[in-house]
Amino acid sequence: MKKKDEKSKKKPRWRLMHQYYSYTGFYKFVGKSVKKAIIPILIVVAAVLALDFYVLDLNKVLATVTETYPPAGIILVFLLSESVLGLVPPELFIAWAGKSLYPIFYLSLLAAASYVGGIISYFIGVSITKIPAIHRQMEVNLAKHIKNTRKWGGFLIIVGALLPIPFAITSIAAGFIRFPFMSYLMFGLLRFVRFYLYALVIFEMV
């Protein structure tokens, strides 16, 4: 009887996980990170809309870029950006895809480039651990991200893949702590979901 009572009192796994993420500040971290990321995105969107309305025709600019530069070159630039701290906002490239001849095709290539860029960042994190001097420096520079990745693991990678949080930094931290690579690849696939969801809005704007 006692064993049955103990089993009945056991909390379901999802509830235990929810309590863990609540106690460790995961939800607060996500909320703060999204707030920090949304402000720059809103500023960029507002600036682009203002330029489009008052200064230049954004559609013409995107059309010119599409006609002037080969798609392979644009996707390569995006891959490099996604591999090194996500220096250029993906939204600009999604807008470019929306003005191309094959929007969904190029959007998918961009999502794939972002995914591959994350993998490159992961191995940058792995390689850092093999160079003592850089390893020590990165432990200081990425201390917060490394600590959070150790605490939350896969959930932090999911958040980095879906939300406007630098995916490259999350990937470097994952590689730094040697997070299981196959699990990283699986969680990272949500990067595709992010691009398709953002495209639903951005394609309408351009």
Using the Cα atoms of residue 63, residue 67, residue 69 and residue 74 in order, give the sign of their dihedral.
positive
- Domain assignment present for residue 3? The answer is no
- Domain assignment present for residue 67? The answer is yes
**φ, ψ for residue 176, nearest 5 deg:** -60, -40
Q: How many C-beta atoms lie closer than 10 Å to residue 145's C-beta?
A: 22
- Domain assignment present for residue 159? The answer is yes
Coil vs helix vs strand at 105: helix
- Output the pTM of the full model: 0.72
Q: For residue 126, give its domain range.
A: 21-205
Provide CB contacts within 8 A for 178, sequence distance 6+: 126, 129
- Domain assignment present for residue 1? The answer is no
- Domain assignment present for residue 105? The answer is yes
Cα separations (Å) of 177 from 7, 124, 143, 152, 204?
35, 12, 11, 12, 40
- Domain assignment present for residue 2? The answer is no
| Number of structural domains the chain divides into | 1
pLDDT tens-digit profile, the chain (206 residues): 445 455 445 667 667 666 766 776 666 766 766 666 666 667 766 766 666 566 555 566 666 666 677 889 999 989 998 998 777 778 888 988 988 889 999 999 999 999 999 999 999 988 887 887 776 776 666 677 677 777 776 777 888 888 777 788 889 888 888 889 999 999 999 999 999 998 998 887 66
- Domain assignment present for residue 52? The answer is yes
